[in-house]
């Protein structure tokens, strides 16, 4: 008779997350099963897209909830506006489900409505005034373009965490609004042209307007 071979148990992969090497989830349709996730001091998980994953065990090196979030759920930030164009709106917030079979440390979670709005583009600078011909005055410089609007923050982020614990660890968290993008910087006025009397410099444009904040994220905790 041939000896019966024993099947090797297949374990989910263990992961250590550090401040310099956080876990950033940005691939669409992300699903995964982790073994032990170890969060070292300053390490964090950032979720930008819809996803779901399981964790056999989650433990933090310091064992306590920190002021900085251990898990951040938001969306992809809007792109910076091109010259003279508004910033892009932040993308919709990620919808994520996490199941933790054994939570061994307190967990601090921040859920934003979505991505941050993009920075507004720079306003164009005014053109230089033309130089006057012999004995003529120089032309006035052109006025700078007004700054553009920052993109609005995204909305719709939801995180559902289901967990079990053997030592009374718990999940605490905040539901936050995504930020609007910063206003675009105004263009500078053009220099006056040279001449018998130099032209006046153009006026600087007005700064743009910051984008509106997005919706507030939603955190659902199940034990």
Predicted pLDDT of residue 39 = 95
Q: Tell me the sheet residues that pair with 103.
A: 58
pLDDT of residue 92: 81
Residue 22 pLDDT = 95
CA distances from 31 to 65, 188, 204, 221, 222 (A): 26, 49, 51, 20, 20
Q: What is the pLDDT of residue 154?
A: 73
Does the pLDDT at position 58 exceed 80?
Answer: yes
Give the C-alpha separation, 178 to 101, whole Å.
30
The string of pLDDT tens digits covering residues 8-38 is 456 788 999 999 999 999 988 788 899 999 9
- Label residue 200 exposed, middle or buried (CB < 10 Å: 0-12, 13-18, 19+): middle
CA angle 150, 205, 137 (to 5 degrees): 160
DSSP 68: S
């Amino acid at each position: 008779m041939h000896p019966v071979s024993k099947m090797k148990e297949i374990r989910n992969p263990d992961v250590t997350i550090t401040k310099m090497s956080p876990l950033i989830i940005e691939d669409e349709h992300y699903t995964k099963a982790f073994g032990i996730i170890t969060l070292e001091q300053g390490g964090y998980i950032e979720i930008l897209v819809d996803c779901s994953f399981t964790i056999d065990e989650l433990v933090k090196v310091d064992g306590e909830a920190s002021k900085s979030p251990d898990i951040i759920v938001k969306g992809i930030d809007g792109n910076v506006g091109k010259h003279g164009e508004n910033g892009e709106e932040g993308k919709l917030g990620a919808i994520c489900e996490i199941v933790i079979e054994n939570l061994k440390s307190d967990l601090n979670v921040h859920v934003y409505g979505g991505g941050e709005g993009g920075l507004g583009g720079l306003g164009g600078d005014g053109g230089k005034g033309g130089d006057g011909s012999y004995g003529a005055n120089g032309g006035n410089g052109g006025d700078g373009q007004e700054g553009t609007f920052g993109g609005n923050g995204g909305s719709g982020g939801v995180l559902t965490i289901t967990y079990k614990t053997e030592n009374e660890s718990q999940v605490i968290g905040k539901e936050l609004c995504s930020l609007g993008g910063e206003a675009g910087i105004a263009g500078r006025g053009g220099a006056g042209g040279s001449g018998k009397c130099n032209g006046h410099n153009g006026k600087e444009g007005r700064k743009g307007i910051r984008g509106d904040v997005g919706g507030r994220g939603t955190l659902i905790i199940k034990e």
